[in-house]
Amino acid sequence: MINKTFLTAIVFLYSIVLFVGCKKSSSGGTIIPPPVTTPTILKDASSVPVGVGISYDLFKNNTSYAALVKAQFDRVTAEYQMKHGANVKNDGSYDFTKTDDFVSLAQAGGLAIHGHVLAWHQNNNGTYLRSLTGITGSNPVLNPGFENGYTNWFTQVSATPPTAGTISLELTDVQSGTQAAKIVVTTPGPNAYSIQIVSDNFTVTSGSSYRLIFWAKAAANGQSLRAVAQGTTYYAAQDQPLTTTWTLYTFNFTPTENSISIKFHFPNAGTFLIDNLTVGLLSSILDPVQVNSALQNWITTMVTRYKTKVVSWDVANEVVVDGTGDLRTSSNSSGSGGDYFYWADYLGRGYIANAFRWANAADPAAKLFINDYNLESDNRKLDSVIKIINELKAAAVPIHGVGLQMHININTTNAGIDNAFQKLAATGLFVHVSEMDVRINPSNASPFTSTQALLDMQAQKYRYVAESYFRNVPAAQRWGLTVWNLTDADSWIVTGGHTDFPTLFDAGYNKKTAFTEYIKGLQ
């Protein structure tokens, strides 16, 4: 039996504790433990950038979509708009209208931009790239490198006001040889041809297709000249914006006469250098020199245009084949035609290193990434990507990070996720979860109905990826985590024809269980 005196003592002590716990502070308020709160904003929950891959059209035209992106994320990746096929036209010229708008909208929304993608085998303008065939026959252009000055060329700076400029020879900055044409346009004339250089006429076959190949550069990126093939009545022209480095340009034409000349007109102010022209009949075989130049020009133009506006780029994307770890080519990949173009078919393994070098030269401040998928489930592929990284580092190629796409599903093993993070972190590079989504219907069952149990499994997988990232990637190497697409309705998996629910938000912009668990993992 409990002694009454002992019981009284216990009650007394409890009263003291209760009194102390409830006593008021000096300010007169009762001390109440702070409530436990769960963050509701992804970007506020994380010490690293939290990104999302988005649709330009939805971001521009759907206010609910745009508002949710701006509220939850601090970095965006364009799902399509910054790819080759979205910006390069069939003749090789560029149209950056929509991409400029995307960048402006993102900046206005306070969002950092991760550029995607510079060298990939998909989403290219395949029509243009497959037109880069070689040429046959001897070069009919006399003195094509201006080594004999302007012999075999006519030059003109019109006296008609307001035309002002000079035509001279460049003796130092040449593409090859000892001389190049130098045209300085101070004030353009009333006509594009007010300032021009014109080759002697040469013989062609009417109705046959030819290509002009020439090297050129300008004093400032974007300064444009006009290449012309012209006879008595036949006329074909191509306006060509230049870069500040010597670049190979091409111009295809099909004359309707048997005698023409090559002309360069200068309708815009600037300083232009031209060297080493060749004209020949088109062949059916792609020319590696032209393919290399097309890739260099694309990367240089794109990165230069958005210098300081895009903080990082996926430079080389999906360069390794699943299962084998081999370099991706048309012979070991299934896609062909359309927007497919395999750079390695024409440029070999070296195109990867060159892509990084060109991007770094265009914007030394931007961080440059190699990006691939299935690295958490395909060890051979993971090791092959790491081998490429080590080769690039050994060759002093400016590579700064590796992107782990993580298009995963509820059955992806946690051990595989840990392994990928650990191995990639060991490279010493930044590690970026670059395109994450989690499928709940990985077998593409149809019909398929979502269940809460499946959504709970998805949520735990999202959380595990975030927790594993922070556990296995050192703080100095964390570039951030990016999910791919905003809602289930705009997911690339769903718009591609599959029934699934792979994102953090449902079609009505509501937070899913995946959001709740993912934000816990980010903390």
**Which of 102, 108, 104, 111 lies closest to 69 in space, CA to CA?**
111
Structure tokens at 264: 């360069």
Would residue 435 show up in a list of annotated catalytic residues for this protein? yes
- Cα distances (Å, whole numbers) of residue 191 to 155, 161, 228: 15, 11, 14
**CB of 118 closer than 8 Å to CB of 302:** yes
Q: Which of 79, 318, 376, 467 is catalytic?
A: 318
Distance, in Å, from the CA atom of 149 to the CA atom of 126, rounded to the nearest integer, reads 39
Distance, in Å, from the CA atom of 279 to the CA atom of 211, rounded to the nearest integer, reads 6
User: In the block, which residue shows the tokens 């070069």?
Assistant: 139
Which amino acid, 277?
L
**CB of 473 closer than 8 Å to CB of 427:** no
Element spanning 480, H or E = strand 478-484
Q: What secondary structure does DSSP assign to 346-368, as a single string?
A: HHTTHHHHHHHHHHHHH-TTSEE
Q: Which of 376, 435, 467, 517 is catalytic?
A: 435
Distance, in Å, from the CA atom of 446 to the CA atom of 433, rounded to the nearest integer, reads 30
Local structure of 327: helix, strand or coil: strand
- Cα distances (Å, whole numbers) of residue 309 to 72, 110, 114, 478: 21, 12, 9, 21
Distance, in Å, from the CA atom of 427 to the CA atom of 383, rounded to the nearest integer, reads 11
Strands 164-170 and 367-372: unpaired
**CB of 414 closer than 8 Å to CB of 472:** no
Distance, in Å, from the CA atom of 214 to the CA atom of 142, rounded to the nearest integer, reads 14
Indicate which residues carry an active-site annotation. 318, 435
